[in-house]
Amino acid sequence: MNYEEIVAMEKRLLFPTYLRYPLALVRGQGCRLYDVHGKEYIDMLAGISVCNLGHAHPEISQVICEQSKRLLHVSNLFYTREQLELARSLLSFGNFQKVFFCNSGAEANEAAIKLARRYMQEIRGEARFEIITLEGSFHGRTLATLSATGQAKVKEGFSPLVEGFVTVPPGDIDALIEAITPHTAAIMLEVIQGEGGVKVMDQDFLRQIQHICHRMGLLLIVDEVQTGMARTGSFWAHSQFHISPDIITCAKALANGLPMGAMLSTEEVSQGFAPGSHATTFGGSPLVSAVANKVLEIIERDGLIEHSKKMGEMLKQMLTGLQERHPHIIAEVRGKGLMIGMELKKWAKDIFSSLLEEGFICNLAQGNVLRLLPPLIISPEEISLFVEALDKVLSSLK
């Protein structure tokens, strides 16, 4: 089947919910992807911060094969060794004592919202249900997580939204304090807003939020769906900002391409859930748990946290050099680890399209931010190839 036939079939069969890139991909290996024509691309997106170990990782493929021969799914009505081993491993990263497994970032955030509300109402006995979030945030596309998201464009046509969410500008501590009411249960945020344009939150602002939560008895929820799993040069991004959330969520890279999410909390807050209060059919199945456990093993064994930090520093430094060469095009380079955004003053779509032609896959966030989320295994040589291509593209613009 050629590219034109694939495009025609997609238009005929699928809901038009995606503006797809003009590529039909058929296989991958490491940091490389190959389209239907056999053209090779260096992947600077990793499936939107999902394939942290790259594509077709041999150990991941082996685990999938071996586990599929033993046990795929039995539901959460039963104990399974794979899920418990994953829980033990994941909880070893950070100061959390309980985990709930699900299938996506939206589900993890949905669980966090429900846990915060139920903890306040059932354990603390307080009529608290409101969640304060930040403008520019993105927490998912279920009705509750969409309501929590601080971007109006993704909410159009879905009214009425779920009640109980208040959004304030990031960095404005006075607006946040003013938004707190006797019904406020939690403050929910991303320390780096990915979909919002790779915007890094101010550390003093986050520390003030932490202080307010402690002083007023509110819960702090940190969405690590995109920033977690060593993406930013630490296993959890929030640790670089010296804050201690009560609840965090993760997904995307947890099973390196298989659908999986998780919500982690302290022992105290975990009391908000009881048998029957929340559930999922597929969450934490033996297959995805076995894969995720191997992902954690590889991240730690291969030093990918430090590698992400070093490669991110290299990439950011090289992009800053390009900013000095092309100040009329590049407004800012920002981010941490291998989560980097380059804000463009103009020609964003042209630059993105030209990079595709040169054989590099990346992404535009907020229309003018070149978002770079390569696999954590990316090499210095691959980074250099990307920056050389980007410099060539920028130099061709007038």
Q: Decide if pLDDT at 52 tops 90.
A: yes
Please check whether residue 336 lies inside any domain of the structure.
no
Residue 278, domain member (yes or no):
yes
Q: Is 90 exceeded by the pLDDT of residue 398?
A: no
Query: For the CA atoms of the chain, what is the radius of gyration?
Result: 21
Question: Is 384 within a domain?
Answer: no
How many domains does the chain divide into?
A: 1
pLDDT digits (tens, 9 = 90+) for 300-316: 999 999 999 999 999 99
Measured at the CA of 369, the angle between CA 363 and CA 372, to 5 degrees, comes to 45
Domain-embedded: residue 165: yes
pLDDT at 332: 98
Q: CB of 272 within 8 A of CB of 244? A: no
Paired tokens of 273: 């859930």
Cite the DSSP H helix spans in 164-303. Answer: 173-179, 203-216, 267-270, 286-301
Mean pLDDT for 70-97 is 98
Q: How would residue 131 be classed by pLDDT, with cut points 50, 70 and 90?
A: very high
Task: For residue 286, give its domain range.
Answer: 60-301
**Residue 375 domain flag:** no
> Which alpha helices (H) appear in 58-123, and where do they start and end?
58-68, 81-91, 105-118
CATH number at residue 262: 3.40.640.10
The string of pLDDT tens digits covering residues 164-220 is 999 999 999 999 999 999 999 999 999 999 999 999 999 999 999 999 999 999 999
Is 8 part of a structural domain of the chain? no
Contact call for residues 311 and 338 (beta carbons, < 8 A): yes
The answer to whether 252 is a known catalytic residue is: yes
Q: Are 362 and 44 in contact (CB under 8 A)?
A: yes
- The reply to whether 392 belongs to the active site is no
Cβ burial 312-341 (10 Å sphere, 16+ → b, else e): bebbbebbeebbeebeebbebbbbbbbbbb
- Asked if residues 352 and 362 have their Cβ atoms less than 8 Å apart, the reply is yes
| Cβ neighbours for 191, distance < 8 A, ≥ 6 positions apart | 200, 201, 206, 222, 227, 237, 238, 240, 241, 243
* C-alpha pair distances (Å), 18 with each of 103, 211, 392: 21, 41, 29
Residue type, 219: L
219 in a domain, yes or no?
yes
pLDDT 10s digits, 225-268:
999 999 999 999 999 999 999 999 999 999 999 999 999 999 99
Kindly name the residue from 252, 294, 309, 316 that is annotated as catalytic. Answer: 252
Set 93, 96, 138, 273: catalytic member: 138
Residue 51's alpha-carbon distances to 56, 266, 391, in angstroms, are 9, 28, 26
Predicted pLDDT at 202: 97
Cβ(287)–Cβ(131) under 8 Å? no
138 is catalytic: yes
Q: Quick one: 126 exposed, middle or buried, by C-beta within 10 A (0-12, 13-18, 19+)?
A: middle
Catalytic pick from 223, 235, 273, 336?
Answer: 223
Query: Is 144 a domain residue?
Result: yes
